[in-house]
Amino acid sequence: MSGRAVDSAAFRQALGHHPTGVALVASTDEDGDPVGLIVGTFTSVSLDPPLVGFLPARDSSSFAAIRKSGRFTVSILAHDQEHLCRALSRPADRRFEGLEWSPSGNGSPVLPDVVCSIDCSLESCTPAGDHYFVTGFVESLEIRRPVAPLLFFQGGFGGFVPGSFVAPSDAIVAESVRTVQHIRDGMQRLAHAAHGEVTAYARVNDHAVAVATVAGPNVPTSTILGSKLPLTPPFGEVFLIGAPEAEVEQWTDRARTAGEELLSISRARLEHARTHGWAGSYAGDTRDGLLFPALTEYGVAGVTPAEQREIQAMLRVAVEDLRPVDLEPERQYEGASLVAPIRNGHGRCALMLRLCQLPPASGSRIEALAAELCRLTREAEAQESVLQP
Ligand SMILES: Cc1cc2nc3c(=O)[nH]c(=O)nc-3n(C[C@H](O)[C@H](O)[C@H](O)COP(=O)(O)O)c2cc1C
């Protein structure tokens, strides 16, 4: 191919496989009216001096006006702002019609609720084929809403989803709900007797999704149905009870960056769960009070890599409380929560029950509740519709 011009359709098609962010580069013209264009070519260029860049078409009338003003502000669009991108793709003379904007520090338009805004003075403008390569000197920047950005890929818009956070499948959830329906009365009785909350979680890819929850009298339920927790160490060990080693490896790999100690404790938790047929945590304040809700956020809001790092940092701090323990019959345990697998015919766990929000209880009482929880899981296993792996 070298030396020959590439067909423009092939060029577009191949380059469309590379995703880009979406940003508005805007300024004001001599009359103070807003001018600007949507670009997918915005990029950081240099840290010292602080430079950013983008590539406008040489025939862009909007860029001509920006160039004249000598300054611009970049608004990085958020995942929920596709409508703004579409509005700002209208012909230049009515591009800002009906749109809200406010002047940034250098007087250029900035859109509301964008991820980040960057005020620049125009530094250089170099011809690059039918485009210019423009750099801007960064004068100030502001993170306004640290959410996932809008992405453009193969002609369509979307958002960012980290690898281990794929959407749950409706079919698996529906089948799990049917299975759990058979033991609903049992869940209710256990929640009553234990003065706690019993929740069923279905395994959907790399997540546990809450599919049913019941609480004892005066126990406020703490689980949002449909919320999902990533199966990331130290969570989800019961789902790995009958799993082959390769799958356990994948599980531990997800927390590789959280540090060796957390990984070895998570493996110990899995071994403990394999031996006992259930797993317990006795650190209500950290694991259940802090970590569980934080992880549930993943499913509710869509997590950014920065939030993922924050949660891993939290896990590192809480690591000591997560070590598996053998219960002492007479000792009182606070904030216990117990999980037990519901296995299919192949011994694989596709559903689990979790008993949580327990009042302080002795080791022997917790053992008795665990036995009751396991009895309930066996009742569910006896149903025909228990899931495939
Ligand atoms: C997602 C997306 C990315 C774009 N990226 C660029 C770009 O990097 N450079 C460019 O010149 N136009 C880009 N465009 C097209 C311009 O926004 C559009 O052609 C605009 O009309 C150009 O300004 P003008 O009206 O002044 O010519 C993009 C459009 C979309 C929807």
Provide the CATH number for the domain formed by 8-158 in this structure.
2.30.110.10
Cβ–ligand 1 contact at 92 (below 6 Å): yes
> Looking at ligand 1, which atom is closest to the CA of residue 62?
26
Q: Is 369 in the pocket of ligand 1 (CB under 6 A)?
A: no
The residue to which tokens 């969570």 are assigned: 235
User: 198: which DSSP letter?
Assistant: E
Q: What is the pLDDT of residues 179-220, one digit of tens each?
A: 888 899 999 999 999 999 999 999 887 788 888 899 998 888
Hey, whose CA ends up nearest to atom 14 of ligand 1?
Answer: 39
Both tokens of 354, joined, read 């979790």
Where are the domain boundaries for CATH 2.30.110.10 in the chain?
8-158
In this structure, is the dihedral angle defined by the CA atoms of residues 14, 18, 23 and 25, taken in order, positive or negative? negative
The pLDDT, as a whole number, for residue 112 is 96
Residue closest via CA to ligand 1's atom 25 equals 92
- CA 132 to CA 55: how far, in whole Å? 5
| Top-ranked range on mean pLDDT: pick from 38-52, 231-245, 262-276 | 38-52
Closest atom of ligand 1 to CA, residue 35: 26
Q: Tokens representing 213?
A: 């929850």
Place of tokens 């070895």: 264
β pairing state of 156-158 and 197-204: unpaired
For residues 146 and 304, the answer to whether their CB atoms sit within 8 Å is yes
CATH 3.30.450.40 domain position(s) in the chain: 170-323+333-381
Q: If you classify domain 170-323+333-381 with CATH, what class do you get?
A: alpha beta
Work out the percent of the chain whose per-residue pLDDT is above 90: 54
Tell which atom from ligand 1 comes closest to the C-alpha of 41: 8
Q: Please indicate whether residue 37, judged by its CB atom, sits closer than 6 Å to ligand 1.
A: yes
* 321-375 pLDDT per residue, tens: 788 889 999 999 988 889 999 988 778 888 999 999 899 999 999 999 999 999 9
Q: Kindly give the number of the ligand 1 atom that is closest to the alpha carbon of 64.
A: 26
